[in-house]
Structure 1
Amino acid sequence: MAAFHPRQHQLWNHHPLHPPSADLRRLFHRLTIAFSLSILCFSLVYIFAGCCESELTDNSDVSARDLLVAGSAWPERNVSHADGESGLEGNSSGKEWTATRRLPQALIIGVKKGGTRALLEFLRLHPDIRALGSEPHFFDRHYARGLDWYRTMMPKALDGQIVMEKTPRYFVTVDTPPRIHAMSRDVKLIVVVRDPVTRAISDYTQIISKTPGIPSFESLAFKNHTTGQIDSSWSPLWIGLYAQHMERWLAWFPRSQIHLVSGERLITDPAGELGKVQDFLGLQRIVTDKHFYFNKTKGFPCLKKPEGSSKPHCLGKTKGRTHVSIDPDVIQKLRDFYKPHNQRFYQMVGQSFEWQ
């Protein structure tokens, strides 16, 4: 047998099919480090992407109207503000613009069937107004839930935007003025008033559409039809006693914080009434006559179609519906009944609405 040479032993131990254990450990260590770095990089990318997405989602509550530019045929987002700060894009101070939920600075408090829904929809065109679409009824029905709950109901708004909501029942609810005053003594209040006789008929028309078969308007409006004694406690008539309700509000708020909108002129001259409301709220007059057209079928102003929309925007079928027919003698008796109440209201607010 041939002798085993040491050189042969050395070559055998370094054959590629039999690497030493030290090389295996080094290779495994390198692979482990590479894998760990990959996991770390992936985690950092995922966390960064998630943060960006959450910020975009938080600001997505600001409506598309808020991103429009003033002066076009359709109201758009203001680039500049009255306080000198820029809008969403120009941020010279370096701070981030974030939308938050705040308690309202303005309220449409009445009156039912006066034109509050139309006013709200028209005002929502303004880029500096963020308004709740539904009626929260916080100060008359849900006050026990507290202001924190009320705040969560509000839409998110940027600095400089006015948050508002409308609940027409507030105007006639006894406890509402002190409750609103407790929230803010500086809140701005808007009341849409309408000829109380026309308003009562409109109110009854809505009632009978929901509950057909109820007694006639005439039978409900009079305590005694023979003597002509009016039942002023019947809700459609009671709401129209504006002086009685306004007296409570003036006990808590100065007249300068209450703006009255004519329900009749809101129909015949919506841009004119909207201009006064924008002035009252301290806003630039962005919603103007170029945003409206008169719908002859509904007998009501509608909004011209915005860019990208195929149809103009009119209020729903429950708005502008045909009133039930009322005996002219009954209407005259109601006008006679309301006349002294209307005169007292005009004197109280320093403004005449020239109702018959």
Structure 2
Amino acid sequence: MCACNLCARIKRRPIVVLCVVVLTVVAISIIGHWSTVREDFRTGKADIFRDGVSKSDDHDDAKQTSVNNGVPNEGGDYANTNVGNLQDAANERATFVRKASEPVKHSASDTSKFGAKMTSARTPENRSDVKKSTETNTIDFIIQEKDLRRIKKENPEIIENWNLMDMKPISTLKRFKNPCWYERRPLRSDCRIGLFKFIKNVDTATNQKLRCLPYFYVIGQPKCGTTDIYFRLIQHPQIAKPPNKEPFWWNKFRLLYPECFSLDTYLKYFAKAAMKIESHYRWRWTEGQGQEKYHDMVTGEGTSDTMWDNRYWSELPGNENCSSVCVTNADYVHHLTPGAKIIVAVRDPVERLYSDYMYEYLWLHYKPSPEAFHKEVVRMIEEFQQCVTMFSLRRCVYNGTQENSESSVRIRVGMYEVHIKDWLRLFPRDQIHVIRFEDYIHDVGREMTRLFAFLELRPVSTKEMKTVLKLPVTNKRPTGKDGAKIHMKPETCDLLERFYRPFNEKLAQLLNDKKYLWTKSSDSETTITK
């Protein structure tokens, strides 16, 4: 009897061992997959939730939104980069690092045309740090740029969607204040990146569906109060809220993710807002038409990277034979919505830069300090000065290799004159509203009243304004353990003031207002005599 039991156990043992092995392999696979997903989320696919807006805050609204959007996913796995592409990226990165780390020659009395005197006081030991820092700031961008070229090669038809300038102008309905129109066709989308993954497909083969583009855009700049302005703005009763502040479609998602490149992906983002716009109307008299329904609600978005982030310009249609940037996000937005209202927030570029540095570490995971900031500022200024000796100013300002959304110090974002000039080239001055951050924090109510008037929205009541003003301030700068703000070094402030001075002078001239000089004397005298 015992011998029989022993034999039975021996026969069952290989089965048990096999089951244990299989379960172990499955567990390891699951853990590895979860680590990859978590890493992807950390390194860039979560940046859509920046500027103080969390995923959980908007999930309830977003998950109810219906869409009618249509592009099949034919792009394959965009996250995979083959060995050849990685090698090309490494070679390109090495070339750039070598050029960027070469010292810039200056005489003792030489002053840069950008205001900052650079005497190259850094020691040879600092050069290794420069190389390491440059690699960190450029590797992600270069791989993304290679990915962009691979996507173009594997999906030639994607270029037709990238080239928004070839699209026929959209005829919108006059009885809507917001740019809207009706479509009768089934629309689908396989875009499931960022906030778009919460939106379901709807078959509209038998029904007309209202489609809407934004009436207004808050296009920049980061750390100039754009998030605070946006969330106060959408409290106005005439504004239909989209799922979130920043879809990042113009500058990122339509380019990097094949399943998101269609305009339908962007339109579905405003599907719920379109439904609200359609349901809200008032009667008005029109000449020859009598009474008609007029839909006076509007919608918009607030991607604060739209104005400055043109990092992929060299790969986009319209820039093929351009030594500098010919087509920017401004051209795309204007082509589709020429009557749009453009909102720009600016701030003393020195303070903006430091505030940005002290905030972005939450996403980029570096340890901020006044000393590290000073070191990075010196490096970025030297790189920029080196760039303008070889290329045009605009090309260097839009250089995404030296500076992009993964950079800890973004000096080019504060060159407001270059960016705003590109939008003024296309939009009339009365369609662009500039808010000075210092004026905004001094009197939020006054600036919001001016903004409502610019958007041609009805005046708000006292009760409605209280709702606008009671919102807490968003995206405050992190403080030290004692609650006090950590200030930059005086020498850093002086260096940046001299660097930005020429750009501020051009901005003040462009906007005909001396307050954009950000000097003490500019507060009392604001108008520039031309």
Q: TM-score scaled by structure 1? A: 0.61
Could you tell me which runs of 5 or more consecutive residues in structure 1 were left unpaired when the two chains were aligned: 1-59, 62-82, 84-97, 294-301, 305-312
Q: 1:314 aligns with which of 440, 456, 472?
A: 472
CA RMSD of aligned residues (A): 3.2
Gapped runs of 5+ residues in structure 2? 1-63, 66-174, 176-207, 256-260, 278-294, 311-327, 388-396, 404-408, 480-484, 520-530
Alignment-derived partner of residue 494 in structure 2: 332
- By how many angstroms is 1:99 displaced? 9.9
Instruction: Deviation per CA, 1:301-351: give whole Å up to 9, x if none.
Output: x833xxxxxxxx3145x4343353211121022112211211101111223
Matched, 1:347 2:509: yes
Could you say which residue in structure 2 is the equivalent of 1:128?
238
Task: Specify whether residues 224 and 280 from structure 1 end up closer, same or farther in structure 2 by C-alpha distance, changes over 3 A only.
Answer: closer
For 1:182-261, what aligned pairs fall within 5 Å after superposition? 182-210=335-363, 211-213=365-367, 216-223=372-379, 235-261=409-435
Change (3 A) 1:288 1:239: farther
User: Residues 169 and 224 (structure 1 numbering): CA distance in 2 closer, same or farther, change over 3 Å?
Assistant: closer
Structure 1 CA distance for aligned equivalents of residues 497 and 269 of structure 2: 40
Quote the Cα distance in structure 1 between the aligned partners of 2:478 and 2:466: 19
Report the residue type matching 1:182 in the other structure: H
What letter is aligned with 1:250?
L
Pairwise CA distance, 1:225:
9.5
Match runs of 1:275-314 below 5 Å: 275-286=449-460, 291=465, 303-304=469-470, 313-314=471-472
Partner of residue 262 from structure 2, selected from 128, 142, 146: 146
Provide the secondary structure at the position in 2 that maps to 1:244.
Answer: helix
What's the % identity of the aligned pairs? 27
In terms of fraction of residues, the more helix-rich structure is 2
Structure 1: distance between partners of 2:239 and 2:334: 21
For residues 237 and 460 of structure 2, the distance between their equivalents in structure 1, rounded to whole angstroms, comes to 8
Q: Structure 1 residues 319 and 99, CA, compared in 2 at 3 Å: closer, same or farther? A: farther
Instruction: Determine helix, strand or coil for the equivalent of 2:345.
Output: strand
DSSP 3-state at the match of 2:217: strand
Residues 445 and 469 of structure 2 are in contact (CA less than 8 Å); yes or no, is this contact kept in structure 1? no
Aligned residues of 2:355 and 2:477 also touching (Cα < 8 A): no
- The answer on whether the counterparts of 1:262 and 1:273 sit within 8 Å (CA) in structure 2 is no
Size of the aligned set, in residue pairs, is 244
Q: Name the CA shift for 1:331/1:292 in 2 (closer, same or farther; >3 Å).
A: farther
User: 1:11-32 CA deviation, whole Å, 9 max, x = no partner?
Assistant: xxxxxxxxxxxxxxxxxxxxxx
User: Which residue among 329, 333, 337 is the counterpart of 1:176?
Assistant: 329
Deviation at 1:352, TM superposition (A): 3.5
Q: 281, 299, 305: which one pairs with 1:163?
A: 299
CA displacement at 1:270 relative to structure 2: 0.6
- Is the CA contact (8 Å cut-off) linking 2:358 and 2:477 kept in structure 1? no
Q: Map Cα deviations across residues 141-187 of structure 1 (whole Å, 9 max, x no partner).
A: 12352222211101233221111000010111332111101211111
Structure-2 residue corresponding to 1:48: none
Q: In 2 relative to 1, CA 291–320 (structure 1 residues): closer, same or farther, beyond 3 Å?
A: farther
Seen in structure 2, the aligned counterparts of structure 1 residues 225 and 147 have a Cα distance that, compared at 3 Å, is: closer
- Secondary structure at the aligned position of 2:299 is classed as strand
Matched, 1:270 2:270: no
Say if 2:342 and 2:431, in contact at 8 Å, map to a contact too. Answer: yes
| Paired letter, 1:169 | D
Q: Indicate yes or no: 2:227 matched with 1:109.
A: no
Highest CA radius of gyration, 1 or 2?
1
Large movers: runs of 4+ above 4 Å: 98-101, 229-235, 287-290
CA distance change for structure 1 residues 289 and 169 in 2, over 3 Å: closer, same or farther? farther
**Residue-by-residue CA offset, 1:71-99 (whole Å, 9 max, x unaligned):** xxxxxxxxxxxx9xxxxxxxxxxxxxx99
Local SS of the residue matching 2:307: helix
Q: Which amino acid aligns with 1:212?
A: Y
1:222, 1:230 within 8 Å by CA — same for their partners in 2?
no
Contact 1:108–1:191 (CA under 8 A) maintained in structure 2: yes
Contact 2:218 2:344 in 1 (8 A): yes
Query: 1:5 corresponds to which residue?
Result: none
Deviation of residue 135 (structure 1)?
0.6
CA distance in structure 2 between the aligned counterparts of 1:119 and 1:138, rounded to whole angstroms:
20
Q: Matched residues in 2 for 1:147 and 1:121: separation?
A: 25
Q: How far did 1:277 drift?
A: 0.8
Q: Distance in 2 between matches of 1:115 and 1:277?
A: 14
* Partner in structure 2 of residue 11 of structure 1: none
Name the CA distance, whole Å, in 2 between partners of 1:201 and 1:230: 22
If the length of structure 2 is used for normalisation, what is the TM-score?
Answer: 0.42
The CA distance in 1 between the partners of 2:437 and 2:466, in whole Å, is 16
